[in-house]
Amino acid sequence: MLGAIAHDPQLALVERHLGLMPNQEKDDASQLVRLIGERVSEQVDLAQVLALAKTAPPLQPQITQTHVTQITAQELNKPQKLRIGLVQDKAFGFYYPDDVLALQAAGAELVTVNALQDTHLPPLDGLFIGGGFPEVFMAPLESNHAFRMHLKSLIEAGLPVYAECGGLMYLARSLRWKDTVADMVGALPMDVVMHDRPVGRGYVRLQTTADAPWLTNAHEHEQAPGQTLQGHEFHYSSVENLPIDSKFAYRVLRGYGIDGQHDGLVVHNVLASYAHLRSGAGADWTRQFMDFVRLKKTSESVTSVCCAPFVWVNGSPIATDTEGYLKNLGDWSEDFAKAQAQAENLTLTEAHWQVIAYLRAYYEEHRVQAQVRAMIWHFSKLWGPELGNNHHLHTLFPVGGPQKQGNRLAGLLKTKGEH
């Protein structure tokens, strides 16, 4: 007997909707892990554990010349690096570490994406949206309109996306839980409804169809359509209003999937399923997905679209640079200013509109942006010295001040040496 951990209420793991509280939603996860470590060190003879471990014989891996040759060949034929977005925030965080490592081994340069806070996606070759609890974060996901519309436009332009469970729910048109309905990305022609009891729970066995994109479009695969995959599902939601001519990547042999018979909805270059696959458990999905992304990058022109941020204005994407400045002066409108302000979590007041109108008028007359000192001189006369000052102007435009955020909302192009 090397020790025993006594019951301790301080070590309790919080439970809520559908089980344990995920670690990405807990701000004190690291402190809890540290406390567990302290309790173990107090109640377990760690020195004896180490002493016993040292009595084990050393592992002697058998390195053969064939093995060395294989390793050398792998080093010489490293796959081309691809930028793969990984949506990782409080709403989405269900990822297996070995799958993440397998993606990296297949050539993925992982880029963390936050669907709750980011206003647009960075330049990407592909995107992976894992499981999570989008229903718990319906309101903030819906309110991030700019991000949702940018993701939708990229998907329609051909961005390869793999979405599992919570990711599938997020890509739908809407999500309903209890008496609340929220708009989601709208990239998949369906609506999702949460239920009180599980719809699909347990191990699944799937058979790929001819519509499975990673098998029908990827090259040099020894596995043909009809491959059997193993995974698991755990969802309390179901899909409604799905078109009857929808394409599916999988036929369900065991489990429930989307409708009891199919899983893996295929739309554009998206594969979205309720099933969670494992790279080391009967599904080589990481390599196949990366091969698919690599093939699409060489065969389709999606890079230029994927790399340009957008602000969605009245149903149309308006191109901006990475800082939110308009690419074309003629694209400005009051609706653009409203959409850009919403993307920057700024509520426009009459004072904001007065500054925007002044900036646009100044530019029309002088063909250069107004400096802050000119704004102070103008608004001190208009509002009085208590409001017409540098501090108040920066309070109105907290993201970069009136020189940056003000001109951004006014639709004026970024100037060289802007300060």
Q: What are phi and psi of 406, to 5 degrees?
A: -60, -50
- Burial (CB < 10 A; 0-12, 13-18, 19+), residue 35, is middle
Cα(180)–Cα(193) distance, rounded to whole angstroms?
10
Rg (CA), the chain: 26
Could you confirm whether 306 is annotated as catalytic?
no
Q: Which residues contact 319 (CB under 8 A, 6 or more apart)?
A: 308, 309, 310, 326, 327, 328, 331
Let me know: does 142 contact 172? Beta carbons within 8 Å.
no
**Angle ∠(241,244,248) on CA atoms, nearest 5:** 100
Q: Which of 141, 146, 165, 265 is catalytic?
A: 165
Sign of the torsion formed by the C-alpha atoms of 366, 370, 376 and 379: positive
Query: How many other CB atoms are found less than 10 A from the CB of residue 37?
Result: 10
Cα(39)–Cα(36) distance, rounded to whole angstroms?
5
Let me know: does 405 contact 344? Beta carbons within 8 Å.
yes
Sequence-ordered alpha helix ranges (H) in 13-80: 29-43, 46-54, 65-76
Cα(333)–Cα(325) distance, rounded to whole angstroms?
13
Q: Is 282 helix (H, G, I), strand (E, B) or coil?
A: coil
Question: What residues are annotated to the active site?
Answer: 165
